[in-house]
């Protein structure tokens, strides 16, 4: 049988601003990522992420400890939302909660996260947002960057897919470094997801 392969469907989880989400939505909209944004899930009803999803005409779903008290119920509800939207790949975009075992198992090998450092440096518990950049500057590194990695349940420890490097400049503050890293994150995440949507290998070396 022949035919056009169907486009991959992406499910996003995000907690706050959602600028990485926006970069991926934009790339899906203009064809740089030949895929379909199927659903955006947030634990934060007031998040920019849910607003950005609605603006893009993508289903926006609030699921949190407020909607589902028991962690296992929340895990099941997130899985049901992903499956209900026929999601192929899960993309974490600043999602501040840990995924539960049901989602981790169902989507094993098909969950990506982006982190604003050159992992394994400055990853793990407590390393989020501005704290990552504070730690990088305190360590005196000459460069920082961003990492896309597979998610396996351990904070920031899954196999690294691709990294991008960003210089640390004299006089940098955590905020100025963060502002330089963020657009590099957008470009990196877009590149990796485009590769998947194009049916190429996840890892750039073997693409
Ligand atoms: C980014 O720095 C990302 O690497 C980290 O959380 C931040 C989310 O930013 N995981 P945004 O919500 O995408 O603007």
pLDDT in tens, 148-171: 999 998 778 899 999 999 999 999
What is the 69 CA–ligand 1 centroid distance (Å)?
26
Q: Does the C-beta of 123 come closer than 6 Å to ligand 1?
A: no
| Token digits of residue 9 | 């469907």
**Protein residue with least CA distance to atom 4, ligand 1:** 115
Residue 4 pLDDT: 66
pLDDT at 2 over 60: no
Mutate which of 20, 145, 187 for ligand 1 pocket (most atoms within 8 A of beta carbon): 20
Number of Cα atoms under 13 Å in the Cβ half of residue 186: 16
> Which atom belonging to ligand 1 lies closest to the Cα atom of 146?
4
The answer to whether 168 touches 143, Cβ cutoff 8 Å, is: yes
Residue 155 pLDDT: 75
pLDDT in tens, 93-135: 999 999 999 999 999 999 999 999 999 999 999 999 999 999 9
H/E stretch holding 155 reads: none
- Tell me the helix, strand and coil percentages in the chain, rounded to 5: 35, 20, 45
Rounded to the nearest 5 degrees, what angle is found at the Cα of 124, between the Cα atoms of 145 and 177? Answer: 30
Is the pTM higher than 0.85? yes
pLDDT at 1 over 80: no
What is the 44 CA–ligand 1 centroid distance (Å)?
14
Q: Does the C-beta of 156 come closer than 6 Å to ligand 1?
A: no
- Mean pLDDT of all residues belonging to the chain: 96
Of 2-6, 11-15, 60-64, 85-89, the least confident? 2-6
Q: What distance in Å separates the CA atoms of residue 15 and residue 8, rounded to the nearest whole number?
A: 23
Q: How many angstroms separate the most distant Cα atoms in the chain?
A: 61
pLDDT in tens, 43-83: 999 999 999 999 999 999 999 999 999 999 999 999 999 99
**Protein residue with least CA distance to atom 10, ligand 1:** 94
Cite the active site residues. 115
pLDDT in tens, 176-203: 999 999 999 999 999 999 999 999 999 9
Which pLDDT band, with edges at 50, 70 and 90, does 206 fall under? low
Q: Sign of the CA dihedral 141, 144, 150, 152? A: positive
Q: Does the C-beta of 20 come closer than 6 Å to ligand 1?
A: yes
Burial class (CB in 10 A: 0-12, 13-18, 19+), 52: buried
């Amino acid at each position: 049988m022949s035919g056009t392969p169907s486009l991959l469907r992406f499910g996003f989880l995000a907690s706050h601003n959602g600028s990485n989400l926006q970069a991926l939505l934009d790339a899906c909209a203009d064809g740089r990522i030949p895929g379909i944004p199927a659903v955006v899930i947030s634990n934060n009803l007031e998040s920019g992420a849910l607003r950005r999803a609605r603006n893009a005409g993508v289903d926006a779903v609030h699921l949190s400890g407020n909607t589902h008290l028991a962690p296992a119920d929340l895990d099941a509800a997130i899985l049901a939302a992903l499956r209900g939207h026929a999601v192929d790949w899960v993309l974490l975009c600043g999602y501040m909660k840990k995924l539960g075992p049901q989602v981790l198992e169902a989507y094993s090998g098909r969950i990506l996260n982006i982190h604003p450092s050159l992992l394994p440096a400055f990853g793990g518990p407590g390393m989020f947002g501005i704290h990552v950049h504070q730690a990088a500057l305190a360590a005196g590194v000459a460069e920082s960057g961003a990492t896309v990695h597979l998610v396996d349940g351990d904070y920031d420890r899954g196999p690294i897919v691709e990294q991008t490097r960003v210089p640390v400049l004299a006089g940098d503050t955590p905020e100025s470094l963060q502002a330089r890293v963020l657009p590099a994150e957008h470009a990196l995440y877009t590149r990796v997801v485009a590769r998947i949507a194009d049916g190429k290998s996840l890892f750039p070396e073997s693409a």
